[in-house]
Amino acid sequence: MKSRSVFFALAQLACAVLLAACDDDPTEPQLNTLEEVTLIDLDQEGAFFDITFSGTRGLAVGAVSSGVAPNQTFAPLAASLNANGTWASDPSISLPSTGLLTAVAMTSSSLGVIAGVDVSVISGFILDERNGWSQHNVAVGGLAFAVHDDTLRVAGASVTTQHAMISTAPDSWTLETLPFPASQNERQIQDLSAGAGIWTACGFDDGADGTPDSPNEVLFLNHGTGWERISVACGGCSNREFRSVAVSETGGILLGGAITDFSAGGNEYTASLVLRSVSGDWVELVLPAATELKRVNDILIAEDGTVYLACGMGTMAYLVRSSPGGPIERDATLTSARINRLAESPDGTIWATGAVLDAEGNVLRPAIWKRAG
Where are the chain's structural domains?
6-371
Task: Kindly report the number of other CB atoms within 10 A of residue 339's CB atom.
Answer: 27
Q: For 145-199, write each residue's pLDDT tens digit.
A: 999 999 999 998 776 667 899 999 998 999 988 887 665 556 678 899 999 889 9
pLDDT at 3: 25
**Residues 6 or more apart in contact with residue 350 via CB below 8 angstroms:** 300, 302, 308, 319, 342, 343, 344, 370, 371
Strand-pair category, 216-222 with 227-229: antiparallel
Tell me which amino acid residue 344 is. Answer: E
pTM score above 0.85: yes
CATH architecture of the domain with range 6-371? 6 Propeller (2.120)
Task: Pick 79 or 31 by higher pLDDT.
Answer: 79
Q: What is the mean pLDDT of residues 237-264?
A: 86
Task: Name the band, by pLDDT with cuts 50, 70 and 90, for residue 286.
Answer: confident
360 has a pLDDT exceeding 70: yes
Q: Exposed (0-12), middle (13-18) or buried (19+): which is 137, by Cβ within 10 Å?
A: exposed
